[in-house]
Protein backbone atom coordinates (compact mmCIF):
# COMPACT_ATOMS: atom_id res chain seq x y z
CA UNK A 1 0.00 0.00 0.00
CA UNK A 2 1.34 3.40 -0.96
CA UNK A 3 0.48 6.44 1.16
CA UNK A 4 -0.10 9.60 -0.88
CA UNK A 5 -0.01 13.25 0.13
CA UNK A 6 -3.80 13.57 0.00
CA UNK A 7 -4.07 10.86 2.68
CA UNK A 8 -1.57 12.69 4.90
CA UNK A 9 -3.56 15.90 4.42
CA UNK A 10 -6.82 14.14 5.39
CA UNK A 11 -5.18 12.65 8.46
CA UNK A 12 -3.79 16.04 9.48
CA UNK A 13 -7.24 17.58 9.05
CA UNK A 14 -8.87 14.79 11.09
CA UNK A 15 -6.47 15.30 14.00
CA UNK A 16 -6.59 19.08 13.57
CA UNK A 17 -2.94 19.84 12.99
CA UNK A 18 -1.45 22.17 10.42
CA UNK A 19 1.44 20.79 8.37
CA UNK A 20 3.78 22.55 6.01
CA UNK A 21 4.40 20.98 2.61
CA UNK A 22 7.78 19.78 3.87
CA UNK A 23 6.18 18.12 6.91
CA UNK A 24 3.55 16.47 4.70
CA UNK A 25 6.28 14.98 2.51
CA UNK A 26 8.28 13.85 5.54
CA UNK A 27 5.26 12.16 7.12
CA UNK A 28 4.34 10.59 3.80
CA UNK A 29 7.85 9.12 3.50
CA UNK A 30 7.80 7.85 7.09
CA UNK A 31 4.37 6.28 6.67
CA UNK A 32 5.44 4.61 3.43
CA UNK A 33 8.51 3.16 5.17
CA UNK A 34 6.24 1.82 7.91
CA UNK A 35 3.88 0.31 5.34
CA UNK A 36 6.84 -1.38 3.59
CA UNK A 37 7.86 -2.96 6.90
CA UNK A 38 4.30 -4.15 7.48
CA UNK A 39 4.22 -5.68 3.99
CA UNK A 40 7.53 -7.41 4.73
CA UNK A 41 6.15 -8.84 7.98
CA UNK A 42 3.05 -10.08 6.14
CA UNK A 43 5.30 -12.19 3.92
CA UNK A 44 6.62 -14.24 6.85
CA UNK A 45 5.31 -17.81 6.83
CA UNK A 46 3.60 -18.30 10.19
CA UNK A 47 1.94 -21.61 9.36
CA UNK A 48 2.26 -23.96 12.30
CA UNK A 49 3.30 -21.19 14.67
CA UNK A 50 1.14 -21.14 17.78
CA UNK A 51 -0.54 -17.80 18.42
CA UNK A 52 0.48 -16.02 21.60
CA UNK A 53 -1.26 -13.33 23.58
CA UNK A 54 2.00 -12.05 25.01
CA UNK A 55 5.62 -13.02 24.42
CA UNK A 56 6.27 -13.02 28.16
CA UNK A 57 5.54 -15.89 30.52
CA UNK A 58 5.71 -13.64 33.58
CA UNK A 59 2.50 -13.43 35.56
CA UNK A 60 1.42 -10.50 37.65
CA UNK A 61 1.61 -10.85 41.39
CA UNK A 62 -1.53 -9.47 42.89
CA UNK A 63 -2.75 -9.54 46.43
CA UNK A 64 -6.04 -11.07 47.34
CA UNK A 65 -8.90 -8.68 47.92
CA UNK A 66 -9.64 -8.31 51.57
CA UNK A 67 -12.38 -6.28 53.16
CA UNK A 68 -10.88 -3.58 55.33
CA UNK A 69 -12.38 -0.99 57.59
CA UNK A 70 -13.10 2.20 55.69
CA UNK A 71 -11.80 5.56 56.84
CA UNK A 72 -14.52 7.56 58.55
CA UNK A 73 -16.08 10.02 56.09
CA UNK A 74 -16.54 12.68 58.76
CA UNK A 75 -12.82 12.56 59.58
CA UNK A 76 -11.88 13.00 55.93
CA UNK A 77 -14.41 15.74 55.33
CA UNK A 78 -13.21 17.48 58.46
CA UNK A 79 -10.03 18.49 56.62
CA UNK A 80 -11.77 19.33 53.33
CA UNK A 81 -12.16 22.95 52.32
CA UNK A 82 -15.84 22.64 51.30
CA UNK A 83 -18.39 19.86 51.80
CA UNK A 84 -22.09 19.72 51.08
CA UNK A 85 -24.63 17.04 52.01
CA UNK A 86 -21.90 14.50 52.78
CA UNK A 87 -19.96 15.11 49.55
CA UNK A 88 -16.72 16.92 48.80
CA UNK A 89 -17.40 20.09 46.85
CA UNK A 90 -14.80 21.19 44.32
CA UNK A 91 -14.63 24.10 41.86
CA UNK A 92 -16.29 23.47 38.50
CA UNK A 93 -13.87 22.84 35.65
CA UNK A 94 -16.42 22.85 32.83
CA UNK A 95 -18.86 25.57 31.89
DSSP per residue, 59-79:
----PPP---PPPPHHHHHHT
- State pLDDT tens for residues 38-56: 999 999 999 998 888 777 7
pTM recorded for the entire structure: 0.51
Residue 19 · residue 27 · CB < 8 Å: yes
- State pLDDT tens for residues 69-89: 888 888 989 999 899 998 999
Q: Which bin fits 16, alpha (ψ -120 to 50), beta or left (φ > 0)?
A: left
Residue 24: alpha-carbon gap to chain centroid: 24
Residue 89 · residue 77 · CB < 8 Å: no
- Domain residue ranges of the chain, discontinuous segments joined by +: 5-42
Amino acid sequence: MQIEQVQVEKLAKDVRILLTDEEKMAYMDQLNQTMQLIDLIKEVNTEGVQATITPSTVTNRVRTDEIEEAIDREVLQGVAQITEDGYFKVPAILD
